[in-house]
Structure 1
């Protein structure tokens, strides 16, 4: 699919992935929904980078007042097409700006989406603006992977994702270690030609997220390894972190 947008454009991910995002993303949202429902209280809830509503829609189906911010109008349109989609208001804009008015009892980011902000300053702005719209006792929840330095060895990587009788898909990564950033292309070769899907992230270790939270006046309340609540430890490859106002 051709695109004229650049890395860092809030609409790039949705422009590339919206048409078949749900077919390619098969993660069960139930553990995340259970976890978040326990923090929602009775107030308004905001999902940043809400996408096509994988988490927001089942959370709203439990009677929770869910709203979303989404960088891609195409993604937001896909959400509205789904059952219950018209009950989740979505503001199209840059999630770093949190372009909505609070207060919210819960704000959350799932599936590493904070890393889609490619500059440390934009990630910090996201924390700052989330703190602005949080209610007094509200929570800010982030799900993210723990970066693996072994994956950056040599500053580049090529992975063969699939090979069939009539197609092959590879993923090519280029790492900027100083900026904690990578750019990638998922490339499929088949009878119809060459198809490219670009992506980029600025990855952070949990301690760096804690520092951003501290600068925004938030503190880490708890960190677990995943939505099931398994303890977080030195061998954990991911985390779910809950922040609240520093009092």
Structure 2
């Protein structure tokens, strides 16, 4: 793997386009409204700040945002956007990287907690966040509920999408709680394949990680609009509070 991890210059250049639905106002505005309420008058720490999908509009709302991002290519695109200079970004692995000062809010969106490939790394992430948070500060995570209910017995593949030039699928390994998202694209110059590994995590497992880090669950919703989290929810937005 290169120094930018799985998000090198080529991937970064196409990131906003390939995730266009996540950059639409309907996806961004509710998240920013939600996070602004927890930031209050304090600072926000984004783990995996990417190209600034959330950091930039949150900054425009008057919330000082500091990002941690492994991919220098993604950070370069963030800083090239209008208002990008207002968002300071530290290069590093967000599970371990420390930045100066304390924050009223830390957040991980769009399933980014799953980029940490071991349970220990995810536990370490919670502890690192707790060290950054002020007492009473909030840690917010948006992440999918593992889609194991879609797997027939003996199967490991969940299709994501397919069209004449692109198709994608997730491959699960329930024994190790790992999965990979796999993408195939056919262009005039040929075919390309990309695979990104993840470690999926359950809501109750995240609650235990928070407890180990000195936090407790404050809220859990099905989405940024605060719809109830139920047995049928496909993702959750969870908020943990630092106790002291």
Determine if contact 2:78/2:84 at 8 Å carries over to the other structure: yes
Alignment of 1:165-184 (within 5 A): 168-184=165-181
What CA RMSD, in Å, does the superposition of the two structures yield over aligned residues? 1.8
Segment of structure 1 superposing worse, 140-149 or 173-182: 173-182
> Are the structure 2 counterparts of residues 119 and 39 from structure 1 closer, same or farther at C-alpha, using a change threshold of 3 Å?
same
Instruction: Write out per-residue CA displacement over residues 94-119 of structure 1, whole angstroms, 9 at most, x where no aligned residue.
Output: 01013312310100000110001010
1:199 deviation in Å? 1.0
Counterpart in the other structure of 1:191: 188
> Are the structure 2 counterparts of residues 181 and 219 from structure 1 closer, same or farther at C-alpha, using a change threshold of 3 Å?
same
Determine if contact 2:4/2:73 at 8 Å carries over to the other structure: no
Whole-Å separation in 1 of the counterparts to 2:88 and 2:242: 26
> Are the structure 2 counterparts of residues 99 and 152 from structure 1 closer, same or farther at C-alpha, using a change threshold of 3 Å?
farther
Whole-Å separation in 2 of the counterparts to 1:171 and 1:44: 37
Counterpart in the other structure of 2:74: 75
Determine if contact 1:109/1:143 at 8 Å carries over to the other structure: yes
Give 1:20's match in structure 2, choosing from 2, 14, 29. 14
- Length, aligned pairs only: 238
Counterpart in the other structure of 2:223: 226
1:237 deviation in Å? 1.2
Q: Secondary structure of the residue that 2:101 maps to in structure 1?
A: coil
Whole-Å separation in 2 of the counterparts to 1:150 and 1:52: 32
Q: Secondary structure of the residue that 2:7 maps to in structure 1?
A: helix
- Structure 2 unmatched runs, 5+: none
- Structure 1 unmatched runs, 5+: none
Whole-Å separation in 2 of the counterparts to 1:14 and 1:225: 32
TM-score normalised to structure 2 length: 0.91
Q: Does 1:159 align with 2:156?
A: no
Segment of structure 1 superposing worse, 144-153 or 63-72: 144-153
Whole-Å separation in 2 of the counterparts to 1:10 and 1:29: 25
Counterpart in the other structure of 1:239: 236
